[in-house]
């Protein structure tokens, strides 16, 4: 029987996040009381003696134990005396038992520990004063704790002092001369990260840590998550930033600004300089784990490319002029007013960013609605998870995932559809892998063989390699099997779901046209595999579904989200731990940017602009009359710009020129604007078309909150001053004031107070409460004062669960003789989204260009070899990428990433989009590939335009004089 373990539970015995209790918490409801050094201590059964003692501040010396790893019992430093037992058992591996009487300190134990430490130190360089870990070294601490004064053994005999240092990883080094072979690193890589990149090679004196098959870290399977570095009690594994800059002197807890996992980190500082980011054990999303991006890729914040001064220009072929904040804001406000005066109130708009904080996003949409006096606000979530909002609201009544991340530890069957958690949501991917190692079953529906399917110690996983664009056909076939074979949860359906809708759906889905046998020709997945997967999910005690952009970024994205919800409702997999429907959000604040009213039809809290009562509440607080008609979505803004009716745009922290589909169309739209105001930390692709460039602030330079994929609101805390002197919210506020709409916030906490007053799901949220609780999962209100980890436990916000009719409609983007292959796109671990941040870090080492993955059979047919330049043509355009032959895709499917602007991945994606939300169909583009010898025309133009814009950034008037215009 699969045991369920929830790392977030057991709070009474959880202890402080700032202390290492030696072994993990245990959750048994049976308590045992024992005597340690005369103190009566009660702990859950299964707790180690070491942990029981540490919970009461009796700190037993230790070296090989750490409370994020299972006890190993190798160093013996933690020996204790137990009345009635022989010898000196290790306290880390000895479970506490009722009635035990334990002594942790006496003369014999002290001698034993000193002898052990003496042996360690006799084979360890005595360079503590010059060691980078000086002051932060457990070996040093333990030598002090056991009172070691001298070492009787010399270094004459065999030792490891000449062992080589491996510096191959850009972020940390491995100095083997300092290794005490405690194996904490090996266990961290296995238990916490789930990569199994490290081993202990050899035996006895010759045993040593090895990365991969005796190579270095870079040539091993290591994914640079940093778990081993954090686990190492010596300076053997050490961050290079600490070696270079010395030990930090203070720390501030904040939230990673990369993906939707929302990991908490301690920014460890020396003055204003970040020395290292250490994953915070008290973080409820990550419990002290991290990935390479959050842990190491923070250097972009101080990169030389940062925009440090406001800049303006009249047209995009002119040099930028550095100006004061006042002048830039005044220029922007004047241009916006002039545009509205000339072209009307609806001719301008704003785009919020899922990378910015809730408070910043709220302010931008408020500026648009109250300052611009229209609803032309949209967000980059339009191009990723807008179908999630639509589909989940229609079926479950709330536009958000239903679970905590920790819930996966209670799942027996995990379905992953169109998501790649180990690359795109790595810390959650590690948690999922842990559950899979414990025995949960995995079903992956994806055209690619994602790495999760290669999880070490995974049992018999099921892969449904469907053709891109056939998600709905597959989900319908799965549902058909459930009804056909009587696997539905009739009690749940009767008690929780709308009967009329259910009966209609039942009749629809039971039709033979949805059977896996009929759908086999459409999806490419065998009927037998579909039937097996449906049975596995429907009969599991707890079945959970996780999905990503491979679900939403389709012409039927919203239909598919509803299809997933149908499946969960039909099997009763909603409303408790271990189950649910869980969108894996791409960027750090996708959930938050949607919650904050970024969409043109919804005020904060998903309150429709046509709802008179909701509008009245906002009108009273904002002091203006609001438009009751939805405004323009991003694609409509582009179309209207080209049509000449939409003339000015304010874009905060978003790179639409790179991230939106059909680049030719987007560039024409941006060139059609009279005024483009871009607020960003770098001269991004969009800024190259801008007239006003307002320096943005990185997550390290501001206060605010992010909301992660589990609806968890986390605090972002300022650790260094903003490079250009203003946090992003202050810039929006200045622009509002310059436009004549007053905003007077003194701190983002006041913006959150306003959000709480206007958003029913946020009424209980405040910075004080966030400081007190660490994080809050909304809804947080009178009914749920501390938030709500699992949604829909007793009912749905819409009363009963609504089944939706999900007819499969084939995408118009089909292969034919001219475009015989299907292109699908995705992400990789080391780069983030459009790459603006990660490309400015050493993460470039892992992925310095986007490549096109081609199946060997397609490659052979075209005479393509690994590394060849390939021209990729679609109905929208052409680009050129290097080939990588790979068996991860099906024949007929090619794959690329979009992390480098010059790749032009979106030059070829079309503007086909989701029927309900306009989310682009990035995941399906019909293409042809052929060997070529030079970049595409777009790429050649891109390079010369980029070169020009960098010259103009430096105010290079000579560029103009030479007549080198932008065209
Ligand atoms: S950095 Fe992470 S993946 Fe690499 S060896 Fe260490 S624990 Fe394993
Ligand atoms: S590298 Fe560090 S954690 Fe790993 S075995 Fe050596 S001392 Fe222990
Ligand atoms: S998993 Fe996501 S939130 Fe966590 S450290 Fe990595 S990028 Fe940051
Ligand atoms: S800490 Fe217990 S044996 Fe090492």
- Structural domain includes residue 683: yes
Joined tokens for residue 704: 């605010």
Q: Is the CB of 256 under 6 A from ligand 3?
A: yes
In the reported structure, the alpha carbon of residue 49 is separated from the centroid of ligand 4 by a whole-number distance in angstroms of: 11
393 and 375 inside one domain: no
Structural domain contains residue 499: yes
The pick from 235, 237, 238 for probing ligand 2's pocket by mutation, whose C-beta has the most ligand atoms within 8 angstroms, reads 237
| Residues 438 and 544 occupy one common structural domain | yes
**Spatial separation of the C-alpha atoms in residues 529 and 533, rounded to whole Å:** 6
Q: Which atom of ligand 1 is nearest to the CA of 225?
A: 2
Shared domain check, 217 and 350: no
Closest among 710, 681, 687 to 590, alpha carbons compared:
710
Whether residue 530 is found in the same domain as residue 555? yes
Cα separation of 369 and 364, whole Å? 9
Residue 284 falls inside a structural domain: yes
Q: Is 760 in the pocket of ligand 4 (CB under 6 A)?
A: no
Q: Do 614 and 570 fall within a single domain?
A: no
Q: Closest by alpha carbon to 589, among 387, 815, 360, 301?
A: 360
HSE of 515, CA atoms in CB hemisphere, 13 A: 8
Over residues 656-701, the pLDDT tens digits come to 888 887 888 899 999 999 999 999 999 999 999 999 999 999 999 9
* Pairing relationship of beta strands 869-873 and 878-885 according to DSSP bridges: antiparallel
Q: Give 3-10 contacts, CB < 8 A, sequence gap 24+.
A: 3/438, 4/409, 4/410, 4/577, 4/578, 5/409, 5/410, 5/438, 6/406, 6/407, 6/409, 6/410, 6/577, 7/287, 7/406, 7/409, 8/284, 8/287, 8/404, 8/406, 10/44
| Ligand 1 pocket member 227 (CB < 6 A) | yes
Classify strands 675-680 and 648-652 as parallel, antiparallel or unpaired. parallel
pLDDT in tens, 530-547: 999 999 999 999 999 999
d(CA 560, CA 837): 32
Q: Is the CB of 62 under 6 A from ligand 4?
A: yes
- Who has greater pLDDT, 910 or 479? 479
What's the predicted TM-score (pTM) here? 0.92
pLDDT at 159 (0 to 100)? 66
Check pocket membership of 142 for ligand 4, CB cut-off 6 A.
Answer: no
Whether residue 575 is found in the same domain as residue 709 = no
Atom of ligand 3 nearest to the CA of 286: 4
Ligand 2: atom nearest CA of 198 is: 4
Cβ–ligand 4 distance for 88 under 6 Å, the answer: no
Task: Determine whether the shortest distance from the Cβ of 223 to ligand 1 is under 6 A.
Answer: yes
Domain end call among 716, 739, 762:
739
Is the pLDDT reported for residue 212 higher than 90?
no
Given the CA of residue 425, which atom of ligand 3 is nearest to it?
1
Cβ pair 936, 907 in contact under 8 A: yes
Pocket flag, ligand 2, residue 232 (CB < 6 Å): yes
69 lines ligand 1 (CB under 6 A): no
Measured CA to CA, the distance from residue 826 to residue 895 in angstroms comes to 8
Instruction: Write the pLDDT tens digit of every residue in 430-474.
Output: 999 999 999 999 999 999 899 999 888 888 899 999 998 999 999
Asked whether residue 14 is assigned to any structural domain, the reply reads: no
Q: Contact at 8 Å (CB) between 906 and 881?
A: no
pLDDT at site 602:
94
Rounded Cα distance, 122 and 120, in Å: 6
Angle at 653 between CA 427 and CA 289, to 5 degrees: 15
Asked if 244 and 162 sit in the same domain, the reply is: yes
Query: The domain spanning residue 443 has which CATH number?
Result: 3.40.228.10
Question: Within a domain: residue 758?
Answer: no
Average pLDDT of 639-646? 96
The pLDDT of residue 897 is above 90? no
The CATH number that applies at residue 203 is 3.30.70.20
Q: What percent of the chain has pLDDT over 90?
A: 72
| Same domain assignment for residues 876 and 832 | yes
Q: Quick one: CA dihedral 362, 364, 367, 372, positive or negative?
A: negative
- Which residue is closest in CA terms to ligand 1's atom 8? 189
Nearest CA to ligand 1 atom 4: 222
Any ligand 4 atom below 6 A from CB of 756: no
User: Looking at 233, 267, 302, which one is the last position of a domain?
Assistant: 302
Could you tell me the CATH number of the domain that includes residue 851? 2.40.40.20
Count of residues for the chain?
967
Structural domain contains residue 87: no
Average pLDDT of the segment spanning 710-735: 96
Last residue of a domain, one of 551, 583, 615: 583
Burial label for 208, CB within 10 Å (0-12, 13-18, 19+), is middle
- The answer on 414 and 351 residing in a single domain is no
Ligand 2 pocket member 179 (CB < 6 A): yes
CATH code, 347: 3.40.50.740
- Please give the average per-residue pLDDT across 624-633, as a whole number: 95
- The whole-number pLDDT of residue 840 equals 86
C-alpha of residue 160 to centroid of ligand 2, in Å: 13
Q: How far is CA 170 from CA 127, 186, 436, 841, 877, in A?
A: 24, 20, 31, 10, 37
362 and 420, same domain (yes or no): no
Do the domain assignments include residue 804?
A: no
User: Cα separation of 872 and 550, whole Å?
Assistant: 21
Q: Using the predicted structure, report yes or no on whether residue 151 has a pLDDT greater than 70.
A: no
Ligand 4 atom at minimum distance from 50 CA: 2
Instruction: Please give the residue range of the domain that contains residue 926.
Output: 821-933
Instruction: Looking at the CA of 456, name the nearest ligand.
Output: 1
> Are residue 393 and residue 536 in the same domain, yes or no?
yes
Number of domains in the chain: 4
Contacts of 263 (CB under 8 A, 6+ apart): 255, 256, 279, 280, 283, 285, 286, 289, 290, 291, 294, 427
153-167, 285-299, 672-686: the lowest-pLDDT one: 153-167
Backbone angles phi, psi at 146, to 5 degrees: -90, 0
Residues 278, 176 within the same domain: yes
Q: How far apart are CA 598 and CA 360, in angstroms?
A: 11
Cα 229 to ligand 2 centre (Å): 9
Contacts of 100 (CB under 8 A, 6+ apart): 34, 35, 49, 82, 83
CA distance 669 to 47: 63
8 A C-beta contact, residue 274 and residue 719: yes
The reply to whether 408 falls in a domain is yes
How remote is the C-alpha of 694 from its chain's centroid?
27
Looking at residue 192, the DSSP 8-state letter turns out to be I
Cβ of 755 closer than 6 Å to ligand 1, yes or no, is: no
Q: Which pLDDT score is estimated for 8?
A: 44
């Amino acid at each position: 029987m699969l045991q369920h373990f929830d790392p977030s539970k057991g709070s009474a015995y959880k202890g402080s996040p700032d202390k290492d209790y030696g072994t993990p918490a245990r959750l048994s409801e049976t308590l045992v009381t024992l005597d340690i050094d005369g103190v009566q201590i009660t702990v859950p059964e299964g707790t180690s003696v070491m942990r029981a003692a540490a919970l009461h501040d009796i700190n037993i010396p230790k070296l090989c134990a750490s409370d994020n790893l299972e006890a190993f019992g190798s160093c013996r430093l933690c020996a204790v005396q137990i009345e009635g037992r022989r010898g000196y058992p290790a306290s880390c591996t000895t479970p506490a038992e009722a009635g035990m009487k334990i002594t942790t300190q006496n003369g014999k134990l002290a001698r034993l520990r000193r002898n052990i430490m003496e042996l360690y130190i006799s084979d360890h360089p005595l360079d503590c004063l010059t060691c980078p870990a000086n002051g932060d070294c457990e070996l040093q601490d333990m030598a002090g704790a056991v009172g070691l004064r001298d070492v009787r053994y010399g270094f004459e005999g065999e030792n490891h002092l000449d062992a080589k240092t491996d510096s191959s990883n850009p972020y940390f080094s491995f100095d083997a001369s300092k290794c005490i072979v405690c194996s904490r690193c090996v266990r961290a890589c296995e238990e916490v990260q789930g990569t199994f990149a490290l081993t202990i090679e050899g035996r006895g004196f010759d045993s040593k840590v090895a990365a991969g098959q005796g190579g270095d870290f870079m040539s091993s399977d290591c994914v640079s998550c940093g778990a081993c570095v954090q686990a190492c009690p010596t300076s053997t594994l050490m961050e290079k930033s600490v070696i270079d800059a010395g030990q930090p002197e203070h720390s501030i807890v904040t939230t990673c600004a990369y993906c939707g996992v929302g990991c908490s980190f301690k920014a460890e500082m020396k003055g204003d300089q970040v020395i290292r980011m250490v994953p915070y054990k008290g973080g409820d999303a990550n419990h002290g784990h991290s990935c390479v991006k959050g842990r190491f890729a923070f250097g972009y914040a101080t990169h030389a490319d940062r925009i440090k001064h406001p800049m303006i220009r009249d047209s995009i072929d002119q040099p930028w002029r550095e100006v004061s904040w006042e002048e830039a804001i005044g220029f922007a406000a004047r241009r916006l007013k002039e545009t509205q005066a000339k072209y009307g109130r609806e001719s301008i708009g704003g785009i919020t960013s899922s990378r910015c904080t809730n408070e910043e996003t709220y302010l931008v949409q408020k500026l648009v609605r109250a300052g611009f006096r229209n609803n032309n606000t949209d967000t980059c979530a339009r191009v990723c998870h807008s179908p999630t909002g639509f589909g989940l609201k229609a079926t479950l009544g709330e536009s958000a995932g239903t679970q905590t991340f920790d819930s996966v530890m209670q799942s027996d069957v995990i379905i992953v559809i169109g998501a790649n958690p180990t690359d795109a949501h790595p810390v959650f991917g590690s948690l999922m892998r842990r559950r899979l190692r414990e025995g949960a079953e995995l079903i992956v529906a994806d055209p690619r063989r994602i790495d999760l399917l290669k999880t070490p110690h995974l049992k018999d996983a099921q892969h449904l390699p469907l053709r891109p664009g056939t998600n709905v056909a597959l989900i319908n076939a799965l549902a058909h099997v459930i009804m056909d074979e009587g696997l539905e949860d009739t009690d749940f359906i009767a008690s929780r779901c709308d009967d009329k809708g259910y009966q209609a759906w039942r009749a629809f889905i039971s039709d033979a046209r949805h059977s896996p046998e009929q759908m086999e020709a459409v999806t490419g997945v065998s009927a037998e595999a579909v039937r097996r997967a449906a049975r596995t999910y429907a009969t599991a005690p707890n079945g959970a579904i996780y999905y990503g952009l491979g679900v939403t970024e389709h012409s039927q994205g919203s239909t598919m989200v509803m299809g997933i919800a149908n499946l969960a409702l039909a099997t009763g997999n909603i409303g408790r731990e271990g189950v649910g429907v869980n969108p894996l959000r791409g960027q750090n604040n996708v959930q938050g940017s949607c919650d904050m009213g970024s969409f043109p039809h919804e005020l904060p809290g998903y309150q429709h602009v046509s709802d008179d009562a909701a509008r009245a509440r906002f009108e009273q607080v904002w002091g203006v009359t609001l438009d009751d008609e939805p405004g323009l979505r991003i694609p409509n803004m582009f179309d209207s710009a080209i049509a000449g009716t939409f003339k000015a745009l304010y874009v905060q922290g978003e790179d639409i020129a790179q991230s939106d589909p059909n680049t030719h169309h987007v560039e024409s739209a941006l060139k059609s604007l009279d005024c483009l105001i871009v607020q960003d930390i770098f001269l991004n692709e969009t800024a190259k078309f801008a007239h006003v460039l307002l320096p943005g602030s990185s997550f390290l330079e501001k206060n605010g909150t992010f909301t992660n994929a589990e609806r968890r609101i986390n605090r972002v805390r300022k650790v260094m001053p903003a490079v250009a002197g203003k946090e992003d919210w202050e810039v929006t506020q200045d622009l509002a004031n310059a436009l004549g709409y007053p905003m007077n916030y003194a701190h983002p906490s006041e913006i959150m107070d306003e959000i709480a007053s206007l958003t029913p799901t946020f009424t209980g949220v405040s910075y004080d409460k966030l400081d007190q609780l660490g994080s809050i999962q909304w809804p947080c209100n009178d009914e749920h004062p501390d938030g709500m980890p699992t949604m829909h436990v007793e009912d749905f916000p819409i009363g009963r669960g609504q089944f939706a009719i999900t007819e499969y409609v084939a995408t118009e983007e089909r292969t034919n003789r001219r475009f015989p292959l299907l292109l699908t796109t995705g992400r990789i671990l080391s780069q983030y989204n459009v790459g603006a941040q990660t490309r400015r870090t050493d993460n470039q080492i892992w992925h310095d260009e986007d490549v096109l993955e081609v199946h060997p059979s397609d490659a052979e047919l075209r005479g393509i070899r690994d590394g060849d330049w390939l021209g990729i043509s679609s109905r929208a355009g052409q680009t050129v990428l290097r080939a990588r032959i790979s068996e991860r895709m099906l024949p007929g499917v090619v794959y690329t990433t979009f992390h480098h602007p010059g790749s032009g991945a979106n030059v070829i994606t079309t503007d086909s989009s989701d029927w309900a939300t306009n989310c682009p169909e990035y995941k399906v583009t019909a293409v042809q590939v052929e060997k070529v010898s030079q970049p595409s025309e777009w790429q050649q133009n891109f390079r010369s335009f980029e070169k020009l814009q960098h010259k103009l950034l430096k105010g290079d008037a000579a560029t103009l004089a030479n007549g080198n215009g932008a065209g």
